[in-house]
Amino acid sequence: MDSTSPDFSSPAGARPDASPSDTPPPLAIYFDGLTNRRRLVTLAFGPDLDIVEDGAAAATWRYDDLRAVDGGPGTLRLKNVAGLPLARLEIRDPAPQAEIRARARFLAIGRGSPQTGRIVGWSLAAICSIVLIVLFGVPLVAERMVPLVPMSFERRLGGVVDNQVRAIFGGKVCTDPEGNAAFAKMVEKLREASHVEMPLQTAVLASSIPNALALPGGKIYLFNGLLQKANGPDEIAGVIAHEMGHVRHRDQIRVVIQNGGTSFLIGLLFGDFTGSTAAIFTARSLVDASYSRQVEGSADAFAIETMHALGRSPAPMGELLFRVTGTQGNKTIGILASHPLTEARRELMRREDRPATGPDILSPAEWRALKNVCGPQRAK
């Protein structure tokens, strides 16, 4: 702390003229705002503050124009809002500091952050608005924007995803002609019953993962793994109808818009908040999962409707899903799940079970052909 004591004859000042003869008037250091010359001055507290150097007035500052700025411990550093922006007056003695504080009324304006309440208030308002936008605004905007996205763009996006899906699942398209003919027949029936008008491209992929996917732009993949778990054509038909629901609702492009919007807004919300990535990740997972569950729920409703239109029961689809996943309630955290829980979906489809009124979707021979579309399978 020694270095900050008001010791002007130290090597720092190095001014021989600071002799002890002029003790009464308080000392200060003045920078005139033009150069960095350190001018040793005295202060005269008149109606205005007179800054005097070697007996001559160097400057006169009005008390109301004085503002305190950072000056280091123990130093009162002043600027003059009516003067040059960098002109500074530094007072290190407590007595003249007190004198200034008593006379200058607006010393503290613009200092520190006394507006903390306002910052907190505005931040809370911003958080509320972002949360509301994420929960209600983004789905609404996505809903309105989806019809505006041209089909050609969606197909282009589908091309990108297609490349990635094939890279990830390593799936080759199964080529058995009879199996593909049976699959095409099923797809055509479902499409007529559900009035899906956009062109569809469907294929069975030789992947052992039990799944089916709809890509943007009307591409539907059935994975052989799911096909092999199915016991009858109605089970697979329900799943394909579900995927058609995604295509019909253009869910993929909607999800792209929704997830892009939320991740941007949530990132904005947390900003650079110390290591916020995990918080962002959690928040995004929750929001995306809730969007996703809504979307899946409506695709299920679409599948049920389509199966009813064909005079077939949607219940077998629920049984197939349950066979694939088993009971999920004790393994999955509901609010983080992307789909409604399988047991809930099976319940829903069982409730919609009706005796068959329409013809079989595929004949037993066609079903056998479809099962073998990726080559003859080993007996279970």
Partner 1 sequence: MDDTVLAGPAPGRSARVAFTGARTDFIRLVRRGALLELVTAGFYRFWLATDIRHALWSGTSIEGDAAEYTGTARELLIGFLFALAILVPIYLVYFLIGIEIERAKAFASLPLFLFFYAFGQFAIFRARRYRATRTVWRGVRFWMSGSGWAYAWRACLWTFATIFTLGGLLPWRESALERYKMRHLHYGDLPARFEASGWTLFKRGWWLWLLAFLIIPIPFIYPAYRAILWRWWIEGVRFGTLRFESVLEAGDLMGLYWATIGWIVLFMSLAGGAFGIVAAALPHLLGAPAGATGIVWLIRQHPVLIIALYLVDYLAIALFAGFVVRVYLVRGVWERVVTSATVYNLENADNVRVMGGLASALGEGLVDGLDVAGF
Which residues form the interface with partner 1 (CB under 8 A)? Answer: 1, 3-4, 7, 10-12, 14, 29, 31-38, 69-73, 75, 77, 84, 86-88, 90, 110, 112-113, 116, 119-120, 122-124, 126-127, 156-157, 159-160, 163-164, 166-167, 260, 264, 268-276, 278-279, 282, 286, 329-330, 333-336
Decide whether 63 or 270 has the Cβ nearer to partner 1: 270
Parallel, antiparallel or unpaired: strands 66-69 and 219-223: unpaired
Distance, in Å, from the CA atom of 300 to the CA atom of 276, rounded to the nearest integer, reads 36
Q: How many whole angstroms separate alpha carbon 28 and alpha carbon 98?
A: 14
DSSP result, 110-174:
T-S-TTHHHHHHHHHHHHHHHHHIIIIIHHHHHHHHGGGS-HHHHHHHHHHHHHHHHHHH-PPBP
Report which of 60, 106, 111 is spatially closest to residue 83, judged by C-alpha positions. Answer: 60
DSSP state of 375: S
C-alpha triplet 175, 176, 177: angle, nearest 5°: 100
Our measurement of the distance from residue 76's CA atom to the centroid of its chain's CA atoms, rounded to an integer in Å, reads: 46
Of residues 197 and 272, the one with the C-beta less far from partner 1: 272
Helices 233-249 and 251-270: crossing angle in degrees, nearest 10, is 60
Count, residues in the chain: 380
Q: Which is nearer to partner 1, 32 or 352 (CB)?
A: 32
Specify the residue, 282 or 357, whose C-beta has the smaller distance to partner 1: 282
Q: How far is the CB of 135 from partner 1 (least distance, A)?
A: 16
Q: Please report how close the Cβ of residue 263 comes to partner 1 at its closest, in angstroms.
A: 10
Q: How far is the CB of 155 from partner 1 (least distance, A)?
A: 10
For the bound state, the minimum distance from the C-beta of residue 129 to partner 1, rounded and expressed in Å, comes to: 12
Residue 36's φ and ψ, nearest 5 degrees, are: -95, 20
**Residue 133 Cβ vs partner 1, minimum distance, rounded to whole Å:** 14
Residue 127 or 135: which CB sits closer to partner 1?
127
Structure tokens at 372: 């073998």
Considering beta carbons, is residue 180 or 258 the nearer one to partner 1? 258
Listed in sequence order, the residues at least 6 apart from 161 whose beta carbon sits closer than 8 Å to its beta carbon are: 215, 216, 252
What minimum distance in Å lies between the beta carbon of 203 and partner 1? 17
CB of 166 to partner 1, least distance (A): 8
